[in-house]
Amino acid sequence: ASLCIIVLTSQSALTNPLYGVRCDVLTVEIEHVDAVALEKLEKQGVVCEPKASTIAIIQDKYRQKGHFSKFGIPIADFVEVDTLSSIENAGEMFGYPLMVKSKRLAYDGRGNAVAHNKEELSSVVSSLGGFEHGLYVERWTPFAKELSVIVARSRDGCTVCYPVVETIHKDNICHVVEAPAQIPEKMKKLATSVAEKAIKSLEGAGVFAVELFLTNDNQALLNEVAPRPHNSGHHTIEACYTSQYEQHLRAILGLPLGDPAMKAPAAIMYNILGEDEGDSGFVLAHQLIKRALNIPGASVHWYAKPEIRKQRKMGHITIVGPSMFDVKAHLDRLLQRDTDGPKKVRPRAAVIMGSDSDLPIMKDAAAILEKFNIPFELTIVSAHRTPERMYAYALSAKERGLEVIIAGAGGAAHLPGMVASLTTLPVIGVPIWTKSLQGTDSLLSIVQMPKGIPVATVAIGNAENAGLLAVRMLASRDTELSDRVNEYQQNLEDSVLVKARLLEELGWDKYLEQCMKP
């Protein structure tokens, strides 16, 4: 009961005589194979996943665009060009810059060229080998980000989608992949639905990569599809419950699809591109890999290609970690960016106050955070005297990686509530004692928030408890930290028990005399 899977890795592999005899499933790791030959094999009863029809559509990018356009998938405007006059007409229609593309054998930036004006058209066409191999043009898409969604479809037609990633290109070659993409949930949903719809329009099982443009006006336009595991899914090996490779096998074999979710919060994939030809290229790559071995959460994949060429993908490094902030900091270290500066630590908590006169109280929150080794930032932000600063501070808090904000204020104490209204982070309010009303003004200003915007209020002047509350919030999914909170509470209990024993031993009069002297 052994199984034979044949993976087509190049055109020539199609001559393998095994197909008709004992191949159970035929799949591809490159779409530039003879689709007609594949179709013949299908007719002879060989199971191809995905189907030859899908390979035929995808390997011709012009046909691909036509297909997705027919199925109502959002894409940039495009038109076939076969003469200088037809491309000039297209230039007038779409404007410049104009994207000119080869229909076939285009990948990693090859087969794409940009004409910035009418005069450049003929040289761009010849750089792509002339009209005879087939060209088309596309309206230039000004995009904010390039995204990719890996979609898996099983033999029974079920699909699952991996979390949307951002792909960052360098000279048209994928260089960095950030997972998950740092974009609003709404945009992720949109990109995922476009990707899923595109794959549902194709035939056959397997893993597909859908590359998209996120435009400045928040559209997700499909760029192109690869009918196979893809560079934008390499991080899934370490970062997801099911890697794209296992998923592809599950899909083409008719097994249930695996969970595509990320098992770690953040990952970055960095392609090792050839920087130089020959030995010096290998030396550079070797230095990079050596540094990677010292980066926490980094895994090195070296493809052992026999030759190094400039811009060739020689391997990749995936960095997995507890937050995008952390993995980006690790990538900076890997690439020796900013190596002289002090090691960055992401503050997890913030302590802010309306005035420096609040510091003698608010320092207690800072002391608790220090005691529990929580990295934090501390500053003055006044709702009334620095409203713009407060606005900017609260709006950026989440993306700077903060997880909780402690805000102290007195009197008409608006800071905690205003900050809470500008962020989704939990905000803890510390009412500062006031001379006029003993802090009841602060307490009521902070605690009596309207429905919709909560502030976690602690006792008047009790910044220590604000710090402890922040620690509890951070500890609720962190066993090591919650054990330390437990220990802290145990120590509180112990210190009361010591006093109780002393009081019982000494009696009330001696205790007052010896232990309670001012």
Instruction: Give me the DSSP letters along 41-66.
Output: HHHTT--BSS-HHHHHHHHSHHHHHH
Q: Binding of its own copies at residue 404 (CB under 8 A)?
A: yes
Provide, rounded to whole angstroms, the least separation between the CB of residue 132 and its own copies.
46
Residue 469 interacts with its own copies (CB under 8 A)?
yes
Q: From CA 505, how far away is CA 499, in angstroms rounded? A: 10
> Shortest Cβ distance from residue 4 to its own copies (Å)?
16
SS3 state of residue 28: strand
Taking the least distance from each CB to its own copies, the nearer of 203 and 464 is 464
Question: Is 504 among the residues that bind its own copies (CB under 8 A)?
Answer: no
- The site that binds its own copies (CB under 8 A) totals a number of residues, namely 67
- Selected binder of its own copies within 4, 255, 392, 437 (CB under 8 A): 255
Q: Are strands 349-353 and 376-380 parallel, antiparallel or unpaired?
A: parallel
CA angle 288, 291, 295 (to 5 degrees): 125
Enumerate the β-bridge partners of residue 429.
Answer: 407, 457
Decide: is 400 part of the binding site for its own copies (CB under 8 A): no
Token look-up 């919060």 returns 265
Q: Which is nearer to its own copies, 224 or 246 (CB)?
A: 246
Say if residue 50 is preceded by a cis peptide, omega within 30 of 0.
Answer: yes
Output 24 or 487, the one with its CB closest to its own copies: 487
Name which of 159, 294, 177, 175 is nearest 238 in CA terms: 177
**127 near 111, Cβ under 8 Å?**
no
* SS3 state at 352: strand
Residue 266 bridge partners (DSSP): 321
- What does the radius of gyration of the chain's CA atoms come to, in whole angstroms? 30
Among residues 168, 485, 503, 506, the one that binds its own copies under rule CB under 8 A: 485
Q: Which stretch binds its own copies (CB under 8 A): 8-16, 55-63, 81-89, 262-270?
A: 262-270
- Which of 53, 215, 311, 462 lies at the binding interface for its own copies (CB under 8 A)? 462
Task: Give me the least distance between CB of 451 and its own copies, in Å please.
Answer: 5
User: With binding defined as CB under 8 A, does residue 477 bind its own copies?
Assistant: yes
Alpha helices in 403-462 (DSSP H): 415-422, 440-447
Q: Closest separation between CB of residue 256 and its own copies, Å?
A: 5
339 binds its own copies (CB under 8 A): no
Chain contacts with its own copies (rule: CB under 8 A): 180, 184-186, 238, 241, 250, 255-256, 258-259, 261, 263-265, 293-294, 296-297, 320-321, 323, 398, 403-404, 421, 424-426, 428, 443, 447-460, 462, 464-466, 468-469, 472-473, 475-477, 479-480, 482-489, 492
